[in-house]
Structure formats: C-alpha cells, structure tokens
C-alpha cells in the first residue's frame, strides 16, 4: 500500500498501549521510516501532543519527526506522524552492569532529556521501554504521547508507569508538575537498567526516597559525586532535584576523565596540563599561579600577588574554566595570558 504517494508499507507493524506503528519505505529519500497513528478509542490529543513536542526538538538523542500524513482507517481518514526509523533495541530492565558502557548510556539519556527540557517540553513517560539504542550505540528517547509543554503541565488523573512516577503525581486532585518529574523518572531508570528489584520505598504508592546507603549499594564503583546526584533525582521535594543539564555535565565530566588538555603560553614558553603533566606553575613576576589537573577539573592550588581569571580575583581552590584570560598584576605592568582547553567529546 502507498501512503501520501510516498510511503510504501512494509510487511511488519507493531502495537503499543495507545498507538500502532507501520513500518514503511520512504520512496523519495529511499530510507525506512515509521508511521504512527492512534488505536481506536484513544484520545486524539495524544498524537497532537507528540507532534507538537517532536516538531520543537532537534536532538541526536531524540527520535525525529519527519512528516505528518493522513491514512485510511475504519472507513475514515485519520492523522499519522512519520518518524525516524531506529534500527536497534529497546533498553531492557536489568540488562546492564555498572561499567563505562552503563555510564555512557545514562549520559546519552541525560543529553536527550536536557535537549527536551531546553525546548520547554516535559516527556512525562521516561522509562527503559521508551528508550532505544541503535546499531551504532546511539541512545534515542521515543514515545512522546504523554508529553506536555511547561505552560500546560497539569493533570487530573494518574497517568504513566507507576514505579517511574514522581511522588507529586499521586494526588487525587488537579496536579501541576514540571520537568522535575522527568528527572525523577530518570533516576529510577538508572536503577532499573541495573536491577528488576529496586528498593521497596520506590515501589510504595506514593513512593518515597530510599536511603542513600540502599541506593549506593546498587551502584558499586560509581564515583560518589555521581551517586549522590542520581540519589537527589529521587528527592521527595521536586525543588531538591537537579536539572538534567547539571546531570549531563557531571556525567560528561567523569566520562572524559584524564582526556582534557590545557595549554598556557607565558613568556614565550608553552605549558601543557594533561594526564601526563598534572601541574604547572606560572610566574609572571607581578604574580604567580599554580594549577593542577586531577583528571576532572583544573584547580588553582597556589596563588601569590594580584592574579585574575576573566577579571575576577583568584583564590586557592578556584576552578579554571575551559577558555579564559589570566591576568597577572595591576595597572600598566599587567600581563595577559590565555588558558585554552581542548574539547574532547564523549562518543557516540
């Protein structure tokens, strides 16, 4: 069958809780795509919400919306959305161990969620079953049928997958919510990828935050900075949960451990900071500065005289940003030095 004079249906299709997907070939661009339409009796708003959300978001880690068409169903025309085909597998509960691959996957999920939230969208149904990993190892968030914009974030009924639903969603009245419900679901997802038996407190209705000890026991070997932040995702008070951007940056920092390189040129001499040379001392006569690299950040460990980073006075313990100007001294005798850090990328 040919749809919209462009999409040739293939032999396979799939049904979910609310929608049906039809696998097709895009004859114009010669690629496989997915057509998604709602099953009979499902509120039409679900597809509209998904369309609105996906039309705003462009992210490597979010399924892409290509087109909107009408298809014949039950003797009537009904709308369908044309989505990116993801050649891969749904993430499975309990299918990961704590290792670098696991940290890379949850980092990619955080990237997708940070992009979604930056466009004012709340996914509202984050869980392993709504996340795929393609044949190249790229994670994609899918299924925006429950999504909302920040300006329309309220509900009168409990909708979602229970264990991934934040405590505030369990009320019996009209409930306003924000992107922190996705942060909560992300925290549960991080555990679900490791085990099918999460702490009992997360299975109560409404759920409560487990103890840090119980939570940490499921993440052996994970740096405490990451464990503590993921633990905060499950905070009962949504105001205590970190943003997805904060989580993304933290995971990225640890995934890039010992991969940064900084270069500083002073008095014609190039000074390099990396995993082989972790400490440099800069002496500009009118001031001096020692910077050390611990594999994660570049930190000031000694300073004498008047020294500034981007016009802000430097103190011991200050983190040197990735690209900045170091100023030594005051008045006419000042010396200006650039501090440049290479920008390694987490792959994929």
- Write out the residue limits of the CATH 3.30.200.20 domain(s) in the chain: 2-84
Q: Would you state the pLDDT for residue 15?
A: 61
Q: What is the pLDDT of residues 181-209, one digit of tens each?
A: 999 999 999 999 999 999 999 999 999 99
Q: What is the pLDDT of residues 113-147, one digit of tens each?
A: 999 999 999 999 999 999 999 999 999 999 998 88
Alpha helix (H) residue ranges in 119-243: 180-192, 212-217, 224-232
Q: Would you state the pLDDT for residue 242?
A: 98
Give the separation between CA 273 and CA 288, rounded to whole angstroms.
Answer: 16
Tokens encoding 269: 């001499």
Q: Would you state the pLDDT for residue 149?
A: 87
- Residue carrying structure tokens 């900071």: 273
Q: Would you state the pLDDT for residue 11?
A: 81
Class of domain 2-84: alpha beta
Q: Is 334 exposed, middle or buried (0-12, 13-18, 19+ CB in 10 A)?
A: middle
Chain centroid to CA 309:
30
For residue 281, which phi and psi values (nearest 5 degrees)? -120, 130
Q: What is the pLDDT of residues 243-257, one digit of tens each?
A: 999 999 999 999 999
| pLDDT, the chain, mean | 92
What is the band of 176 on the pLDDT scale with cuts at 50, 70, 90?
confident
Query: Does pTM surpass 0.85?
Result: yes
Q: What is the pLDDT of residues 230-279, one digit of tens each?
A: 999 999 999 999 999 999 999 999 999 999 999 999 888 899 999 999 99
pLDDT of 23 over the 70 cut: yes
Give the separation between CA 120 and CA 150, rounded to whole angstroms.
Answer: 5
Q: Would you state the pLDDT for residue 250?
A: 97
- Write out the residue limits of the CATH 1.10.510.10 domain(s) in the chain: 88-255
Helix 100-118 × helix 180-192 angle, to 10°? 160
Q: Are 127 and 149 in contact (CB under 8 A)?
A: no
Angle at 89 between CA 248 and CA 255, to 5 degrees: 25
Query: What's the maximum distance between 2 C-alpha atoms anywhere in the chain?
Result: 85
Give the architecture-level CATH label for domain 88-255. Answer: Orthogonal Bundle (1.10)
Helices (H) and strands (E) in the chain, counts: 6, 22
Whole-angstrom CA distances from 217 to 99, 221, 222, 324 are: 14, 9, 10, 40
Nearest to 285 by CA among 307, 318, 255, 269: 307
pLDDT of 17 over the 60 cut: no
């Amino acid at each position: 069958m040919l749809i919209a004079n462009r999409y040739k249906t293939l032999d396979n299709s799939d049904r979910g809780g609310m929608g049906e997907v039809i696998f097709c070939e895009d004859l114009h661009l010669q690629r496989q795509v997915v057509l998604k339409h709602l099953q009979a009796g499902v509120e039409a708003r679900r597809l509209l919400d998904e369309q609105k959300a996906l039309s705003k978001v462009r992210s490597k880690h979010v399924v892409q919306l290509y087109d909107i068409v009408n298809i014949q169903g039950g003797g009537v025309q009904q709308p369908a959305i044309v989505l990116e085909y993801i050649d891969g597998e749904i993430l499975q509960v309990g299918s990961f161990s704590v290792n670098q691959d696991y940290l890379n996957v949850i980092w990619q999920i955080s990237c997708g969620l940070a992009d979604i939230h930056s466009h004012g969208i709340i996914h509202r149904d984050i869980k392993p079953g709504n996340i795929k990993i393609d044949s190249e190892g790229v994670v994609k968030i899918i299924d925006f049928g429950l999504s909302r914009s920040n300006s329309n974030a309220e509900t009168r009924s409990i909708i979602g997958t229970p264990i991934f639903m934040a405590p505030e969603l369990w009320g019996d009245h009209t409930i306003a919510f924000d992107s922190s419900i996705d942060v909560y679901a992300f925290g549960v997802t991080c555990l679900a990828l490791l085990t099918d038996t999460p702490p009992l407190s997360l299975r109560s209705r409404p759920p409560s935050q487990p103890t840090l000890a119980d939570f940490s026991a499921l993440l052996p070997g994970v740096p405490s900075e990451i464990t503590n932040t993921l633990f905060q995702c499950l905070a009962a008070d949504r105001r205590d949960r970190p943003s997805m951007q904060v989580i993304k940056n933290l995971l990225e920092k640890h995934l890039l451990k010992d991969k940064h390189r900084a270069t500083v040129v002073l008095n014609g001499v190039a000074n390099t900071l990396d995993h082989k040379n972790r400490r440099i001392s800069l002496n500009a006569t009118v001031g001096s500065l020692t910077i050390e690299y611990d594999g994660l950040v570049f930190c000031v460990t000694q300073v004498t005289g008047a020294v500034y980073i981007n016009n802000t006075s430097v103190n011991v313990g200050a983190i040197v940003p990735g690209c900045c100007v170091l100023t030594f001294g005051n008045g006419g005798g000042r010396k200006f030095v650039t501090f440049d850090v290479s920008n390694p990328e987490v792959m994929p």
